[in-house]
Structure 1
Protein backbone atom coordinates (compact mmCIF):
# COMPACT_ATOMS: atom_id res chain seq x y z
CA UNK A 1 0.00 0.00 0.00
CA UNK A 2 1.37 3.41 -1.01
CA UNK A 3 1.90 5.68 1.98
CA UNK A 4 2.05 9.46 2.15
CA UNK A 5 5.78 9.19 2.90
CA UNK A 6 6.33 7.07 -0.21
CA UNK A 7 4.43 9.53 -2.41
CA UNK A 8 6.40 12.40 -0.90
CA UNK A 9 9.66 10.62 -1.62
CA UNK A 10 8.64 9.96 -5.23
CA UNK A 11 7.70 13.59 -5.69
CA UNK A 12 11.04 14.71 -4.27
CA UNK A 13 12.95 12.39 -6.63
CA UNK A 14 10.90 13.64 -9.56
CA UNK A 15 11.67 17.29 -8.70
CA UNK A 16 15.41 16.58 -8.56
CA UNK A 17 15.30 14.69 -11.85
CA UNK A 18 13.44 17.61 -13.41
CA UNK A 19 16.01 20.08 -12.08
CA UNK A 20 18.93 18.04 -13.44
CA UNK A 21 17.21 17.60 -16.80
CA UNK A 22 16.59 21.34 -17.18
CA UNK A 23 20.20 22.15 -16.30
CA UNK A 24 21.52 19.63 -18.82
CA UNK A 25 19.32 20.98 -21.61
CA UNK A 26 20.17 24.60 -20.78
CA UNK A 27 23.91 23.94 -20.87
CA UNK A 28 23.88 22.38 -24.34
CA UNK A 29 22.34 25.38 -26.17
CA UNK A 30 24.42 28.23 -27.52
CA UNK A 31 23.11 31.81 -27.32
CA UNK A 32 23.28 32.06 -31.11
CA UNK A 33 20.80 29.20 -31.49
CA UNK A 34 18.09 31.27 -29.81
CA UNK A 35 18.97 34.68 -31.22
CA UNK A 36 20.98 36.01 -28.26
CA UNK A 37 24.36 37.73 -28.24
CA UNK A 38 27.16 35.63 -26.78
CA UNK A 39 29.10 38.56 -25.37
CA UNK A 40 32.77 38.49 -24.36
CA UNK A 41 32.61 37.32 -20.74
CA UNK A 42 30.51 34.19 -20.90
CA UNK A 43 31.71 31.52 -18.51
CA UNK A 44 28.52 29.48 -18.29
CA UNK A 45 28.29 26.59 -20.75
CA UNK A 46 25.23 27.13 -22.89
CA UNK A 47 22.57 29.56 -21.72
CA UNK A 48 22.37 31.38 -18.41
CA UNK A 49 19.37 30.85 -16.14
CA UNK A 50 18.19 34.40 -16.69
CA UNK A 51 18.31 33.84 -20.46
CA UNK A 52 16.10 30.77 -20.22
CA UNK A 53 13.74 32.73 -17.99
CA UNK A 54 13.67 35.56 -20.53
CA UNK A 55 13.03 33.22 -23.46
CA UNK A 56 10.24 31.47 -21.51
CA UNK A 57 8.69 34.70 -20.16
CA UNK A 58 8.97 33.53 -16.53
CA UNK A 59 10.65 35.07 -13.51
CA UNK A 60 14.36 34.44 -13.00
CA UNK A 61 13.85 33.57 -9.33
CA UNK A 62 11.07 31.15 -10.17
CA UNK A 63 13.17 29.40 -12.83
CA UNK A 64 16.16 29.26 -10.46
CA UNK A 65 13.97 27.56 -7.85
CA UNK A 66 12.88 25.07 -10.48
CA UNK A 67 16.51 24.13 -11.20
CA UNK A 68 17.11 23.92 -7.43
CA UNK A 69 14.31 21.32 -7.12
CA UNK A 70 12.24 23.58 -4.87
CA UNK A 71 8.68 22.49 -4.14
CA UNK A 72 6.85 24.85 -6.51
CA UNK A 73 3.94 24.43 -8.88
CA UNK A 74 4.54 24.63 -12.63
CA UNK A 75 1.72 24.91 -15.15
CA UNK A 76 1.55 23.06 -18.49
CA UNK A 77 1.72 26.44 -20.25
CA UNK A 78 5.02 27.27 -18.57
CA UNK A 79 6.40 23.81 -19.34
CA UNK A 80 5.43 24.36 -22.96
CA UNK A 81 7.33 27.67 -22.97
CA UNK A 82 10.38 25.99 -21.39
CA UNK A 83 10.29 23.18 -23.95
CA UNK A 84 10.31 25.71 -26.78
CA UNK A 85 13.02 27.88 -25.21
CA UNK A 86 15.26 24.85 -24.63
CA UNK A 87 14.67 23.51 -28.17
CA UNK A 88 13.49 20.14 -26.86
CA UNK A 89 12.71 17.43 -29.37
CA UNK A 90 9.58 15.29 -29.06
CA UNK A 91 11.12 12.69 -26.72
CA UNK A 92 12.67 15.35 -24.50
CA UNK A 93 9.41 17.27 -24.36
CA UNK A 94 7.52 14.14 -23.34
CA UNK A 95 10.14 13.48 -20.65
CA UNK A 96 9.84 17.05 -19.35
CA UNK A 97 6.08 16.79 -18.88
CA UNK A 98 6.40 13.33 -17.35
CA UNK A 99 8.90 14.56 -14.75
CA UNK A 100 6.64 17.50 -13.92
CA UNK A 101 3.61 15.21 -13.66
CA UNK A 102 1.66 17.38 -16.11
CA UNK A 103 -0.35 16.76 -19.27
CA UNK A 104 1.17 18.18 -22.44
CA UNK A 105 -1.23 20.78 -23.93
CA UNK A 106 0.30 20.22 -27.37
CA UNK A 107 1.40 16.56 -27.50
CA UNK A 108 1.84 16.68 -31.25
CA UNK A 109 4.42 19.46 -31.08
CA UNK A 110 7.62 18.56 -32.80
CA UNK A 111 11.22 19.50 -32.40
CA UNK A 112 13.22 22.39 -33.72
CA UNK A 113 16.32 20.21 -33.63
CA UNK A 114 17.58 18.03 -36.48
CA UNK A 115 17.97 14.32 -35.84
CA UNK A 116 20.68 12.21 -37.53
CA UNK A 117 17.91 10.47 -39.49
CA UNK A 118 16.63 13.79 -40.84
CA UNK A 119 20.15 14.87 -41.73
CA UNK A 120 20.53 11.56 -43.54
CA UNK A 121 17.35 12.26 -45.50
CA UNK A 122 18.74 15.61 -46.60
CA UNK A 123 21.83 13.82 -47.91
CA UNK A 124 19.72 11.23 -49.74
CA UNK A 125 17.86 13.99 -51.57
CA UNK A 126 21.07 15.17 -53.25
CA UNK A 127 21.56 16.48 -55.90
CA UNK A 128 18.19 18.13 -55.19
CA UNK A 129 18.74 21.10 -52.82
CA UNK A 130 17.02 20.69 -49.45
CA UNK A 131 17.16 22.19 -45.97
CA UNK A 132 15.29 22.26 -42.68
CA UNK A 133 13.93 25.65 -41.62
CA UNK A 134 11.84 26.80 -38.71
CA UNK A 135 8.99 29.28 -39.03
CA UNK A 136 11.45 32.12 -38.33
CA UNK A 137 13.35 31.18 -41.52
CA UNK A 138 16.42 29.98 -39.61
CA UNK A 139 18.27 27.33 -41.63
CA UNK A 140 18.72 24.50 -39.12
CA UNK A 141 20.38 22.03 -41.50
CA UNK A 142 21.04 21.68 -45.23
CA UNK A 143 22.55 19.34 -47.77
CA UNK A 144 25.53 20.12 -49.95
CA UNK A 145 23.59 21.27 -53.00
CA UNK A 146 21.50 23.71 -50.98
CA UNK A 147 24.74 24.94 -49.44
CA UNK A 148 25.80 26.16 -52.92
CA UNK A 149 22.39 27.14 -54.34
CA UNK A 150 22.15 30.81 -53.35
CA UNK A 151 25.61 31.41 -51.91
CA UNK A 152 28.41 29.56 -50.12
CA UNK A 153 26.27 28.92 -47.05
CA UNK A 154 29.08 27.23 -45.14
CA UNK A 155 30.97 30.54 -45.26
CA UNK A 156 28.05 32.28 -43.50
CA UNK A 157 28.21 32.36 -39.69
CA UNK A 158 25.65 29.95 -38.14
CA UNK A 159 23.85 32.80 -36.39
CA UNK A 160 23.41 34.56 -39.77
CA UNK A 161 21.92 31.55 -41.59
CA UNK A 162 18.44 32.98 -41.80
CA UNK A 163 16.69 33.29 -45.16
CA UNK A 164 15.07 36.61 -44.28
CA UNK A 165 18.36 38.13 -43.20
CA UNK A 166 20.20 36.74 -46.24
CA UNK A 167 17.54 37.92 -48.69
CA UNK A 168 17.77 41.48 -47.38
CA UNK A 169 21.48 41.82 -46.55
CA UNK A 170 23.66 39.22 -48.34
CA UNK A 171 24.72 40.38 -51.80
CA UNK A 172 25.45 36.95 -53.29
CA UNK A 173 22.17 35.51 -51.99
CA UNK A 174 20.23 38.53 -53.31
CA UNK A 175 21.88 38.23 -56.74
CA UNK A 176 20.80 34.58 -57.01
CA UNK A 177 17.07 35.34 -56.54
CA UNK A 178 15.73 36.25 -59.99
CA UNK A 179 12.64 38.17 -58.85
CA UNK A 180 14.07 39.56 -55.63
CA UNK A 181 11.45 42.30 -54.91
CA UNK A 182 8.56 39.82 -55.14
CA UNK A 183 10.41 37.17 -53.14
CA UNK A 184 11.26 39.56 -50.32
CA UNK A 185 7.68 40.85 -50.20
CA UNK A 186 6.27 37.31 -49.90
CA UNK A 187 8.85 36.32 -47.29
CA UNK A 188 8.09 39.36 -45.15
CA UNK A 189 4.36 38.66 -45.35
CA UNK A 190 4.87 35.00 -44.35
CA UNK A 191 7.18 36.08 -41.54
CA UNK A 192 4.53 38.49 -40.21
CA UNK A 193 1.88 35.75 -40.33
CA UNK A 194 4.14 33.32 -38.47
CA UNK A 195 5.22 35.91 -35.91
CA UNK A 196 1.65 36.38 -34.70
CA UNK A 197 2.14 33.31 -32.49
CA UNK A 198 5.53 34.46 -31.20
CA UNK A 199 5.13 38.20 -30.56
CA UNK A 200 6.61 38.08 -27.04
CA UNK A 201 9.53 35.75 -27.82
CA UNK A 202 12.96 37.45 -27.66
CA UNK A 203 14.46 35.51 -30.59
CA UNK A 204 11.70 36.72 -32.92
CA UNK A 205 11.90 40.28 -31.64
CA UNK A 206 15.69 40.26 -32.00
CA UNK A 207 15.50 39.12 -35.61
CA UNK A 208 12.87 41.75 -36.43
CA UNK A 209 14.98 44.48 -34.84
CA UNK A 210 18.04 43.30 -36.76
CA UNK A 211 16.18 43.34 -40.07
CA UNK A 212 14.75 46.80 -39.43
CA UNK A 213 18.19 48.15 -38.52
CA UNK A 214 19.95 46.56 -41.50
CA UNK A 215 17.54 47.10 -44.38
CA UNK A 216 15.53 50.16 -45.46
CA UNK A 217 13.78 47.88 -47.98
CA UNK A 218 12.60 45.63 -45.18
CA UNK A 219 11.33 48.58 -43.13
CA UNK A 220 9.30 49.82 -46.09
CA UNK A 221 7.78 46.37 -46.82
CA UNK A 222 7.16 45.62 -43.14
CA UNK A 223 5.19 48.84 -42.75
CA UNK A 224 2.60 47.53 -45.24
CA UNK A 225 1.38 44.87 -42.76
CA UNK A 226 0.87 42.32 -45.52
CA UNK A 227 0.13 38.71 -44.53
CA UNK A 228 0.18 35.56 -46.68
CA UNK A 229 0.07 31.88 -45.85
CA UNK A 230 2.35 29.02 -46.94
CA UNK A 231 2.52 28.20 -50.64
CA UNK A 232 4.47 26.03 -53.07
CA UNK A 233 5.65 27.59 -56.31
CA UNK A 234 8.28 27.57 -59.02
CA UNK A 235 11.41 29.53 -58.17
CA UNK A 236 14.01 30.91 -60.55
CA UNK A 237 17.54 30.91 -59.16
CA UNK A 238 20.49 32.39 -61.04
CA UNK A 239 23.35 30.37 -59.57
CA UNK A 240 26.80 31.89 -59.92
CA UNK A 241 28.34 28.54 -60.97
CA UNK A 242 25.77 26.84 -63.22
CA UNK A 243 23.44 29.60 -64.38
CA UNK A 244 19.65 29.78 -64.38
CA UNK A 245 17.74 27.04 -62.52
CA UNK A 246 13.97 26.51 -62.59
CA UNK A 247 12.99 24.73 -59.39
CA UNK A 248 9.73 23.52 -57.88
CA UNK A 249 9.73 24.61 -54.24
CA UNK A 250 7.96 22.38 -51.69
CA UNK A 251 7.52 22.67 -47.92
CA UNK A 252 6.92 19.48 -45.91
CA UNK A 253 6.05 20.22 -42.29
CA UNK A 254 7.70 18.01 -39.68
CA UNK A 255 4.96 18.77 -37.15
CA UNK A 256 2.37 21.54 -36.78
CA UNK A 257 2.51 24.22 -39.47
CA UNK A 258 4.09 26.63 -36.98
CA UNK A 259 7.00 24.24 -36.50
CA UNK A 260 10.04 23.22 -38.56
CA UNK A 261 9.71 22.19 -42.18
CA UNK A 262 11.70 20.34 -44.81
CA UNK A 263 12.24 22.64 -47.79
CA UNK A 264 13.15 20.97 -51.08
CA UNK A 265 13.79 22.15 -54.63
CA UNK A 266 13.04 19.75 -57.49
CA UNK A 267 14.17 20.69 -61.03
CA UNK A 268 11.30 21.84 -63.24
CA UNK A 269 13.08 20.86 -66.48
CA UNK A 270 15.95 18.75 -67.74
CA UNK A 271 18.32 21.71 -68.07
CA UNK A 272 17.80 22.55 -64.38
CA UNK A 273 18.36 18.89 -63.45
CA UNK A 274 21.70 18.90 -65.24
CA UNK A 275 22.55 22.20 -63.56
CA UNK A 276 21.89 20.72 -60.11
CA UNK A 277 24.07 17.73 -60.95
CA UNK A 278 26.92 20.07 -61.92
CA UNK A 279 26.38 22.07 -58.73
CA UNK A 280 26.54 18.89 -56.67
CA UNK A 281 29.76 17.84 -58.40
CA UNK A 282 31.20 21.27 -57.61
CA UNK A 283 30.21 20.94 -53.97
CA UNK A 284 31.91 17.52 -53.73
CA UNK A 285 35.06 18.81 -55.44
CA UNK A 286 35.22 21.78 -53.08
CA UNK A 287 34.68 19.74 -49.92
Structure 2
Protein backbone atom coordinates (compact mmCIF):
# COMPACT_ATOMS: atom_id res chain seq x y z
CA UNK A 1 0.00 0.00 0.00
CA UNK A 2 1.36 3.43 -0.98
CA UNK A 3 1.79 5.73 2.02
CA UNK A 4 0.97 9.43 2.12
CA UNK A 5 4.69 10.24 2.27
CA UNK A 6 5.35 8.15 -0.85
CA UNK A 7 2.66 10.14 -2.66
CA UNK A 8 3.90 13.52 -1.46
CA UNK A 9 7.53 13.10 -2.49
CA UNK A 10 6.86 12.75 -6.26
CA UNK A 11 4.49 15.72 -6.01
CA UNK A 12 7.21 17.71 -4.25
CA UNK A 13 9.72 16.83 -6.94
CA UNK A 14 7.38 17.82 -9.77
CA UNK A 15 6.39 21.04 -8.02
CA UNK A 16 9.99 22.16 -7.49
CA UNK A 17 10.94 21.36 -11.08
CA UNK A 18 7.99 23.33 -12.43
CA UNK A 19 8.72 26.36 -10.22
CA UNK A 20 12.45 26.25 -11.12
CA UNK A 21 11.64 26.18 -14.83
CA UNK A 22 9.72 29.45 -14.72
CA UNK A 23 12.48 31.50 -13.04
CA UNK A 24 15.04 32.87 -15.51
CA UNK A 25 18.60 33.86 -14.63
CA UNK A 26 17.65 37.46 -15.38
CA UNK A 27 14.91 37.25 -12.73
CA UNK A 28 17.52 36.67 -10.03
CA UNK A 29 20.24 38.94 -11.44
CA UNK A 30 22.39 36.23 -13.03
CA UNK A 31 23.88 36.21 -16.56
CA UNK A 32 22.06 33.89 -18.97
CA UNK A 33 25.14 31.72 -19.69
CA UNK A 34 25.40 29.24 -22.53
CA UNK A 35 24.08 25.80 -23.47
CA UNK A 36 20.88 25.92 -21.43
CA UNK A 37 18.91 22.90 -22.55
CA UNK A 38 15.79 23.85 -20.59
CA UNK A 39 14.29 27.17 -19.52
CA UNK A 40 14.75 28.41 -16.02
CA UNK A 41 17.45 27.97 -13.40
CA UNK A 42 19.74 24.99 -13.01
CA UNK A 43 19.64 22.98 -9.78
CA UNK A 44 23.10 24.20 -8.76
CA UNK A 45 21.96 27.79 -9.26
CA UNK A 46 18.94 27.29 -7.02
CA UNK A 47 21.20 25.70 -4.40
CA UNK A 48 23.71 28.55 -4.59
CA UNK A 49 21.07 31.28 -4.36
CA UNK A 50 19.35 29.48 -1.48
CA UNK A 51 22.55 28.88 0.48
CA UNK A 52 22.21 25.07 0.52
CA UNK A 53 24.35 22.25 -0.81
CA UNK A 54 23.88 21.15 -4.41
CA UNK A 55 23.56 17.51 -3.39
CA UNK A 56 20.97 18.31 -0.73
CA UNK A 57 18.84 20.36 -3.14
CA UNK A 58 19.15 17.69 -5.84
CA UNK A 59 17.91 15.06 -3.40
CA UNK A 60 15.04 17.35 -2.35
CA UNK A 61 14.00 17.85 -5.97
CA UNK A 62 14.31 14.12 -6.61
CA UNK A 63 11.83 13.47 -3.83
CA UNK A 64 14.22 11.57 -1.60
CA UNK A 65 13.22 11.16 2.08
CA UNK A 66 15.40 13.93 3.53
CA UNK A 67 14.53 16.39 6.26
CA UNK A 68 14.02 20.09 5.53
CA UNK A 69 13.84 22.92 8.06
CA UNK A 70 11.48 25.91 7.73
CA UNK A 71 14.50 28.19 7.29
CA UNK A 72 15.83 26.20 4.33
CA UNK A 73 12.40 25.91 2.71
CA UNK A 74 11.94 29.67 3.09
CA UNK A 75 15.28 30.24 1.33
CA UNK A 76 14.26 27.94 -1.54
CA UNK A 77 10.86 29.63 -1.72
CA UNK A 78 12.49 33.06 -2.04
CA UNK A 79 14.81 31.83 -4.78
CA UNK A 80 11.93 30.28 -6.71
CA UNK A 81 9.81 33.43 -6.13
CA UNK A 82 6.93 31.52 -4.59
CA UNK A 83 3.87 33.43 -3.47
CA UNK A 84 2.19 32.71 -0.14
CA UNK A 85 -0.07 29.93 -1.48
CA UNK A 86 2.82 28.23 -3.27
CA UNK A 87 5.02 28.50 -0.19
CA UNK A 88 2.35 26.87 1.96
CA UNK A 89 2.00 24.11 -0.66
CA UNK A 90 5.78 23.54 -0.57
CA UNK A 91 5.67 23.14 3.21
CA UNK A 92 2.86 20.61 3.06
CA UNK A 93 4.60 18.53 0.40
CA UNK A 94 7.84 18.58 2.40
CA UNK A 95 5.87 17.60 5.54
CA UNK A 96 6.98 20.65 7.49
CA UNK A 97 4.41 22.50 9.66
CA UNK A 98 3.46 25.76 8.00
CA UNK A 99 3.10 28.95 10.01
CA UNK A 100 2.07 32.02 8.08
CA UNK A 101 3.50 35.39 8.98
CA UNK A 102 1.34 38.08 10.57
CA UNK A 103 -1.40 39.35 8.29
CA UNK A 104 -3.48 42.44 8.68
CA UNK A 105 -7.04 41.45 9.42
CA UNK A 106 -9.62 42.42 6.83
CA UNK A 107 -11.66 45.49 7.76
CA UNK A 108 -14.09 45.50 4.85
CA UNK A 109 -15.77 43.14 2.39
CA UNK A 110 -16.29 43.33 -1.35
CA UNK A 111 -19.65 43.85 -2.97
CA UNK A 112 -19.83 40.16 -3.90
CA UNK A 113 -19.77 39.11 -0.23
CA UNK A 114 -22.25 41.84 0.71
CA UNK A 115 -24.61 40.61 -2.01
CA UNK A 116 -24.41 37.07 -0.63
CA UNK A 117 -25.37 38.01 2.91
CA UNK A 118 -28.09 40.36 1.63
CA UNK A 119 -29.54 37.44 -0.32
CA UNK A 120 -29.83 35.43 2.92
CA UNK A 121 -32.48 37.85 4.22
CA UNK A 122 -34.82 37.07 6.06
CA UNK A 123 -32.09 35.03 7.77
CA UNK A 124 -29.77 37.34 9.75
CA UNK A 125 -26.17 37.24 8.50
CA UNK A 126 -22.94 39.02 9.40
CA UNK A 127 -19.27 38.91 8.40
CA UNK A 128 -16.73 38.82 11.24
CA UNK A 129 -12.96 38.65 11.25
CA UNK A 130 -11.21 36.60 13.93
CA UNK A 131 -11.22 39.55 16.35
CA UNK A 132 -15.01 39.80 16.08
CA UNK A 133 -14.90 43.08 14.17
CA UNK A 134 -18.20 43.50 12.29
CA UNK A 135 -17.30 43.86 8.60
CA UNK A 136 -20.75 43.61 7.01
CA UNK A 137 -24.36 42.87 7.95
CA UNK A 138 -27.67 42.30 6.19
CA UNK A 139 -30.98 44.01 7.09
CA UNK A 140 -32.29 41.01 9.08
CA UNK A 141 -29.19 41.07 11.29
CA UNK A 142 -29.70 44.78 11.93
CA UNK A 143 -33.33 44.12 12.80
CA UNK A 144 -32.23 41.79 15.59
CA UNK A 145 -29.10 43.37 16.98
CA UNK A 146 -29.43 47.14 17.10
CA UNK A 147 -27.47 48.65 20.02
CA UNK A 148 -26.05 52.10 20.84
CA UNK A 149 -22.98 52.94 18.80
CA UNK A 150 -19.48 52.28 20.15
CA UNK A 151 -17.71 54.67 17.80
CA UNK A 152 -14.90 55.36 20.28
CA UNK A 153 -13.51 51.92 19.43
CA UNK A 154 -13.46 52.60 15.69
CA UNK A 155 -14.72 49.61 13.73
CA UNK A 156 -17.84 48.00 15.29
CA UNK A 157 -16.81 45.00 17.40
CA UNK A 158 -19.09 42.40 18.95
CA UNK A 159 -16.97 41.60 21.99
CA UNK A 160 -16.36 45.25 22.81
CA UNK A 161 -20.09 45.91 22.94
CA UNK A 162 -21.09 42.71 24.74
CA UNK A 163 -18.57 43.36 27.50
CA UNK A 164 -19.45 47.07 27.66
CA UNK A 165 -23.25 47.04 27.91
CA UNK A 166 -24.94 46.35 31.28
CA UNK A 167 -25.78 42.69 31.78
CA UNK A 168 -29.50 43.40 31.53
CA UNK A 169 -29.01 45.03 28.11
CA UNK A 170 -26.92 42.20 26.68
CA UNK A 171 -28.68 40.59 23.69
CA UNK A 172 -27.46 37.16 24.86
CA UNK A 173 -29.90 35.52 27.26
CA UNK A 174 -27.39 33.00 28.64
CA UNK A 175 -24.50 35.43 28.89
CA UNK A 176 -22.55 33.35 31.41
CA UNK A 177 -22.60 30.41 28.98
CA UNK A 178 -22.00 32.17 25.67
CA UNK A 179 -19.37 34.78 26.49
CA UNK A 180 -16.81 32.19 27.69
CA UNK A 181 -17.19 30.41 24.34
CA UNK A 182 -16.60 33.62 22.42
CA UNK A 183 -13.53 34.52 24.47
CA UNK A 184 -12.12 31.01 23.98
CA UNK A 185 -12.64 31.42 20.22
CA UNK A 186 -10.87 34.79 20.36
CA UNK A 187 -7.93 33.25 22.24
CA UNK A 188 -7.58 30.50 19.61
CA UNK A 189 -7.21 33.21 16.96
CA UNK A 190 -4.92 35.31 19.18
CA UNK A 191 -2.32 32.53 19.10
CA UNK A 192 -1.58 33.52 15.49
CA UNK A 193 -1.13 37.19 16.41
CA UNK A 194 0.72 37.25 19.74
CA UNK A 195 2.79 40.40 19.97
CA UNK A 196 1.06 42.25 17.15
CA UNK A 197 0.30 45.82 18.29
CA UNK A 198 -3.31 45.87 17.05
CA UNK A 199 -4.16 42.65 18.89
CA UNK A 200 -2.30 43.52 22.07
CA UNK A 201 -4.01 46.93 22.13
CA UNK A 202 -7.42 45.31 21.63
CA UNK A 203 -6.87 42.79 24.46
CA UNK A 204 -5.51 45.52 26.73
CA UNK A 205 -8.41 47.90 26.13
CA UNK A 206 -11.00 45.16 26.57
CA UNK A 207 -9.31 44.05 29.79
CA UNK A 208 -9.41 47.62 31.10
CA UNK A 209 -13.09 47.85 30.17
CA UNK A 210 -14.35 44.59 31.68
CA UNK A 211 -13.18 42.63 34.74
CA UNK A 212 -15.33 39.74 33.50
CA UNK A 213 -13.32 39.62 30.28
CA UNK A 214 -10.11 39.55 32.34
CA UNK A 215 -11.47 36.57 34.28
CA UNK A 216 -12.42 34.65 31.13
CA UNK A 217 -9.17 35.51 29.35
CA UNK A 218 -7.15 34.23 32.29
CA UNK A 219 -8.80 30.80 32.00
CA UNK A 220 -6.71 30.04 28.91
CA UNK A 221 -9.53 28.13 27.18
CA UNK A 222 -9.32 27.80 23.38
CA UNK A 223 -11.94 26.46 20.93
CA UNK A 224 -12.58 26.87 17.18
CA UNK A 225 -15.67 28.57 15.70
CA UNK A 226 -18.60 26.24 15.17
CA UNK A 227 -22.39 25.92 14.94
CA UNK A 228 -24.36 26.69 18.09
CA UNK A 229 -27.92 27.28 19.27
CA UNK A 230 -28.21 30.63 21.02
CA UNK A 231 -31.05 32.47 22.71
CA UNK A 232 -31.31 36.21 22.10
CA UNK A 233 -33.58 38.82 23.62
CA UNK A 234 -35.18 41.64 21.67
CA UNK A 235 -37.22 44.43 23.24
CA UNK A 236 -39.98 44.16 20.64
CA UNK A 237 -40.44 40.39 20.24
CA UNK A 238 -38.93 38.81 23.34
CA UNK A 239 -36.63 35.78 23.28
CA UNK A 240 -35.54 34.13 20.03
CA UNK A 241 -33.75 30.80 19.76
CA UNK A 242 -31.44 30.83 16.73
CA UNK A 243 -28.93 28.42 15.22
CA UNK A 244 -25.70 30.05 14.05
CA UNK A 245 -23.46 28.54 11.37
CA UNK A 246 -20.01 29.87 10.42
CA UNK A 247 -18.81 29.77 6.80
CA UNK A 248 -15.24 30.68 5.79
CA UNK A 249 -14.68 33.19 2.99
CA UNK A 250 -12.08 32.32 0.36
CA UNK A 251 -9.63 35.15 -0.20
CA UNK A 252 -10.36 36.63 3.23
CA UNK A 253 -8.16 34.82 5.78
CA UNK A 254 -9.61 34.59 9.29
CA UNK A 255 -13.00 35.90 8.19
CA UNK A 256 -16.32 34.11 8.29
CA UNK A 257 -19.94 34.61 7.36
CA UNK A 258 -22.20 33.79 10.28
CA UNK A 259 -25.79 33.02 9.32
CA UNK A 260 -28.63 32.61 11.82
CA UNK A 261 -31.79 30.56 11.35
CA UNK A 262 -34.80 30.29 13.70
CA UNK A 263 -34.92 27.09 15.76
CA UNK A 264 -38.65 27.05 16.39
CA UNK A 265 -41.93 28.59 15.22
CA UNK A 266 -41.78 31.37 17.81
CA UNK A 267 -38.36 32.53 16.61
CA UNK A 268 -39.45 32.31 12.98
CA UNK A 269 -42.51 34.42 13.75
CA UNK A 270 -40.42 36.96 15.64
CA UNK A 271 -37.95 37.36 12.78
CA UNK A 272 -40.80 37.76 10.29
CA UNK A 273 -42.46 40.38 12.49
CA UNK A 274 -39.26 42.41 12.72
CA UNK A 275 -38.90 42.32 8.95
CA UNK A 276 -42.50 43.43 8.50
CA UNK A 277 -41.93 46.39 10.82
CA UNK A 278 -38.76 47.34 9.00
CA UNK A 279 -40.44 47.30 5.59
CA UNK A 280 -43.31 49.39 6.93
CA UNK A 281 -41.07 51.95 8.65
CA UNK A 282 -38.36 52.15 5.99
CA UNK A 283 -39.89 51.16 2.67
CA UNK A 284 -36.88 52.37 0.68
CA UNK A 285 -34.09 52.01 3.23
CA UNK A 286 -32.99 49.65 5.97
CA UNK A 287 -31.35 51.86 8.59
CA UNK A 288 -27.86 51.02 7.38
CA UNK A 289 -26.34 53.72 9.56
CA UNK A 290 -27.35 51.96 12.78
CA UNK A 291 -24.62 49.84 14.34
CA UNK A 292 -25.53 46.19 15.01
CA UNK A 293 -24.11 43.63 17.37
CA UNK A 294 -24.77 39.92 17.53
CA UNK A 295 -22.79 37.02 18.89
CA UNK A 296 -21.35 33.82 17.55
CA UNK A 297 -18.64 31.38 18.41
The alignment's TM-score, normalised by the length of structure 1, stands at: 0.60
Give the aligned partner of residue 269 of structure 1.
Answer: 264
Give yes or no for the alignment of 1:210 onto 2:189: no
Give 1:102 deviation, angstroms.
3.6
**Partners in 2 of 1:281 and 1:171 — Cα distance?**
29
Give 1:126 deviation, angstroms.
1.1
Q: 1:162 aligns with which of 157, 163, 187?
A: 157
**Partners in 1 of 2:180 and 2:128 — Cα distance?**
19
Give the aligned partner of residue 282 of structure 1.
Answer: 277
Give yes or no for the alignment of 1:232 onto 2:232: no
Q: Provide closer, same or farther for how the CA distance between residues 278 and 265 of structure 1 changes in structure 2, counting only shifts above 3 A.
A: same
Give the aligned partner of residue 181 of structure 2.
Answer: 186
Give the aligned partner of residue 135 of structure 1.
Answer: 130
Deviations 1:143-176 (A, max 9, x none): 12212323337x4437251111111112489522
Contact 1:150-1:173 within 8 A present in 2 as well: no
Give 1:105 deviation, angstroms.
2.2
**Partners in 2 of 1:282 and 1:237 — Cα distance?**
19
The count of residues paired between Structure 1 and Structure 2 equals 196
Aligned residue for 1:261, secondary structure, equals strand
**Partners in 1 of 2:265 and 2:239 — Cα distance?**
12
Give the aligned partner of residue 83 of structure 2.
Answer: 104
* 1:33-72 pair list within 5 angstroms: none
Give the aligned partner of residue 242 of structure 2.
Answer: 247
Give 1:258 deviation, angstroms.
5.6
Give the aligned partner of residue 114 of structure 1.
Answer: 109
| Larger fraction in helix | 1
User: Highest CA radius of gyration, 1 or 2?
Assistant: 2
Deviations 1:214-260 (A, max 9, x none): 00111111111111222211110011121111111100011389610
Contact 2:134-2:155 within 8 A present in 1 as well: no
Aligned residue for 1:132, secondary structure, equals strand
**Partners in 1 of 2:178 and 2:252 — Cα distance?**
20
Contact 1:235-1:247 within 8 A present in 2 as well: yes
The alignment's TM-score, normalised by the length of structure 2, stands at: 0.58
Give yes or no for the alignment of 1:151 onto 2:146: yes
Q: Provide closer, same or farther for how the CA distance between residues 144 and 118 of structure 1 changes in structure 2, counting only shifts above 3 A.
A: same
**Partners in 2 of 1:244 and 1:3 — Cα distance?**
67
Contact 2:228-2:243 within 8 A present in 1 as well: yes
Gaps of 5+ in 2: 1-23, 31-72, 89-99, 288-297
* RMSD between aligned residues: 3.4
Give the aligned partner of residue 95 of structure 2.
Answer: none
